[in-house]
Amino acid sequence: MNLEQLQSFVEVARIGHFTRAAAHLHLAQPSLSRQISTLESDLGTALFHRARGNITLTDAGESLLPLAKRMLADADTVRYEMQELAGLNKGRVRLGATPTLCISLVAEVLTSFHSKYPGIDLHLTERGSRGLLEELAGGALDLALITTSEDRSTASASLQRIPLLTEELVVISAIHSPVLEGAQSLTLKELAALPQITFHESYDLRAATMLAFHDAGLTPKVVLEGAEMDAVLRCVERGLGVAVVPAMVLVDRPGLRSVRLSEPRLARSISLAHRNDVTLTRAAQAMQRMIIDTANILSSSNAATDALITRAS
């Protein structure tokens, strides 16, 4: 049984004549007759009483007709929904990203994507790269934006990574604060002497900064410890202290001043990961393209971050 046979059956039942039904379906009459005969053979019963000039349904035909109409309607629904999906009018994208990326790159991407594809449902998961890669491998995410510094022990042959950006970690203060006024750069030793706001211990950004202090034999002067990204930025804007953050968070933050770190400079790389054993949906492919395009724009034309963000090679 196939949809073409069911369509022929329904048309013959509706019109009551093989030749006219064949003409309506743009089929030769013998082809239509073979389709009906094959369907009857497959079902093991006659569907029509065939009298000269009078075609009527048998009891089996009467039982099949509503089922056939429903099956054809369902097929039309499936076809429509697939066309909608192909046209990116429907669908779903499950994106994961680290907290620092959620307030910068991801915010830009999601705004543009929703504007262009308003019918696609967006699901965002925010956590560290290690957790994101575990969810990606388990099929809970389509794409994940990760930082390589958090990805030391989670390499997997089943995951593909697309390098996007390399960004420096910079020291920020409130624009009205005299702490960094006139400074072109800071050494780690100079930074350690400033009142500093540190991130929650779940942030790899904190671990990388504290490791740099430890390796240099320095102890930072911490005035607030364990904050999330939004709280860190707000406290810095209010003059509570300085913080070490990725350069990208400076976008649309006119209340912040930044200087580069030297001796050593700290940086991180951002990649877009997905499973290479699963074909991305058209919606996820569109999201992937938009993330890459947005990252390229940020790396080439953002005056606020100058040369702090560069395209990954």
Q: What is the tens place of the pLDDT at every residue in 108-124?
A: 899 999 999 998 999 99
Q: CA 184, CA 306: separation in Å to the nearest integer?
A: 13
CATH code, domain carrying 243: 3.40.190.10
- 31 and 49 fall within a common domain: yes
- 7 and 56 fall within a common domain: yes
Choosing from 34, 69, 86, the residue where a domain stops is 86
- State the distance between the two ends of the chain, measured CA to CA, in whole angstroms: 55
The pLDDT value given to residue 9? 96
Long-range contacts of the stretch 70-74 (C-beta < 8 A, 24+): 71/3, 71/6, 72/3, 72/6, 72/7, 72/10
The pLDDT value given to residue 151? 41
The pLDDT value given to residue 303? 44
Q: How many domains does the chain have?
A: 3
List the alpha helices (DSSP H) in the chain.
Answer: 3-15, 18-24, 29-43, 59-86, 99-102, 105-116, 129-137, 188-192, 204-215, 229-237, 282-301
The pLDDT value given to residue 76? 81
Q: CA 297, CA 260: separation in Å to the nearest integer?
A: 22
Choosing from 29, 59, 86, the residue where a domain stops is 86
For the chain, residues with pLDDT lower than 50 are: 150-155, 302-304
